[in-house]
Amino acid sequence: AVERTLSIIKPDAVAKNVIGKIYARFEEAGLQIVAARMMHLSEEQAGEFYAVHKERPFYGDLVSFMTSGPVIVQVLEGENAIAAHRDVMGATNPAEAAPGTIRADFATSIDENACHGSDAPETAAQEIEFFFGKDGVCPRTR
């Protein structure tokens, strides 16, 4: 089925100037960008976005990293987009990410891991609405 997923290119990858290379991988995987926005997250925004991890030991470091510089947030659409996006990203920990994945090629650690992707349809819908609201997505018309 055609799905949408929320993707974030994190501050480490933006700083490395590989936004275009990462976008090319999305496109090569058959994913279309149907919304996109560059922003520098506030602590409040990053904390709310990652609220499910509030009790995890890495939460503080995660919020400070995600607010350390600008990110690019996008909605990707395509057949099985959630899993397809996770495949191109590779494992959360770049040390475990398959060769040729975004994290294997651009991430440095589990904390600075280049990108985020929704993990399920429910979280994808929530995360898309968090950044783009109810009508902030632009499906292709041609």
Under rule CB under 6 A, residue 110 binds ligand CMP = yes
The interface region with ligand CMP, picked from 26-34, 74-82, 106-114, 126-134 by CB under 6 A, is 106-114
H or E stretch including 122?
helix 121-132
Shortest distance, CB of residue 66 to ligand CMP, whole angstroms? 8
Which one from 40, 53, 85, 116 is the annotated catalytic residue?
Answer: 116
**Burial (CB count <10 Å: 0-12, 13-18, 19+), residue 35:** buried
Report how far apart, in Å, the C-alpha atoms of 95 and of each of 16, 35, 101, 118 are.
19, 30, 11, 20
By rule CB under 6 A, what string of x and - marks binding of each residue 31-70 to ligand CMP? ----------------------x----x---x--------
Q: What DSSP string describes 42-110?
A: -HHHHHHHTGGGTTSTTHHHHHHHHTSS-EEEEEEEEETHHHHHHHHH--SSGGGSPTTSHHHHH--SS
The interface region with ligand CMP, picked from 25-33, 98-106, 111-119, 122-130 by CB under 6 A, is 111-119
Binds ligand CMP (CB under 6 A): choice among 25, 85, 103, 116: 116
67 is in an annotated binding site: no
- Would you tell me which residues interact with ligand CMP (CB under 6 A)? 53, 58, 62, 92, 110-111, 113, 116
Catalytic residues: 116
